[in-house]
């Protein structure tokens, strides 16, 4: 029986809950997040997205032709996202030319490693990362200014629809995958969940540094 995205969410429900629910997000919703916490997240997330863009390009390189339309739409959106991060950093007088923290570096290294895996694994990784953004920023509920702009960027209905399409493509890619490839995909999903939780925690810990 072929593995599906929904099965991954069901099998690893606690891991996924931890990836998309965190005090960092709760405090954004409450308006109590400290500037140094949010700014740490913004800078490190920009550095992450730069490498995520490279991962997306790799997925496009190996994807079947019938999946390219959705994937290329994502590539267009990521160009706008990089520019948007740069504008937000300028507004906050943040330096994006900085070192990646160890958690960010580990996540980026993991994305680089995905490039050597079969397409179904890459499709699951892409969907997982985008879903984590989508659900993470939706879970706290309404987020007030000035953080509503960030929540709306990844929690809006259009982005949710895009993530749903990525899930459909990932399911299709897994439909005829071997048991070995399905296990690789499940391992990638679980590791992304762990890394997402660690990323929130990294930013949250900035208040203690």
Phi/psi of residue 156, each to 5°? -75, 160
pLDDT tens for each residue of 48-73? 999 999 999 999 999 999 999 999 99
pLDDT tens for each residue of 58-113? 999 999 999 999 999 999 999 999 999 999 999 999 999 999 999 999 999 999 99
Lowest mean pLDDT segment, chosen from 107-111, 112-116, 145-149? 145-149
CATH of the domain at 9: 1.20.910.10
Count: domains in the chain: 1
Percent of the chain with pLDDT over 90: 94
Q: Is the pLDDT of residue 209 over 60?
A: no
**DSSP calls for 146-186:** TSHHHHHHHHSHHHHHHHHHHHHHHHHHHTT--HHHHHHHH
Segments forming the whole domain that contains residue 10: 5-208
């Amino acid at each position: 029986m072929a593995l599906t995205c929904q099965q991954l969410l069901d099998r690893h429900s606690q891991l996924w809950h931890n990836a998309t629910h965190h005090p960092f997000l709760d405090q954004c919703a409450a308006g109590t997040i400290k500037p140094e916490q949010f700014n740490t997240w913004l800078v490190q997330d920009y550095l992450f997205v730069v490498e995520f863009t490279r991962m997306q390009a790799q997925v496009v390189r190996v994807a079947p032709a019938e999946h390219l339309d959705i994937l290329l739409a994502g590539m267009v959106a990521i160009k706008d996202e990089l520019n948007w991060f740069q504008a937000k950093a300028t507004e906050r007088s943040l330096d994006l030319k900085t070192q990646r923290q160890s958690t960010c570096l580990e996540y980026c290294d993991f994305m680089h490693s995905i490039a050597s895996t079969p397409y179904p694994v890459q499709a699951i990784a892409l969907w997982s990362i985008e879903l984590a953004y989508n659900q993470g920023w939706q879970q706290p509920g309404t987020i007030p200014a000035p953080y509503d702009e960030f929540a709306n960027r990844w929690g809006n209905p259009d982005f949710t629809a895009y993530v749903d399409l990525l899930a459909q493509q990932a399911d299709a890619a897994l439909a005829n995958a071997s048991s070995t490839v399905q296990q690789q995909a499940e391992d990638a999903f679980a590791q992304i969940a762990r890394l997402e939780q660690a990323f929130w925690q990294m930013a949250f810990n900035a208040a203690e540094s």
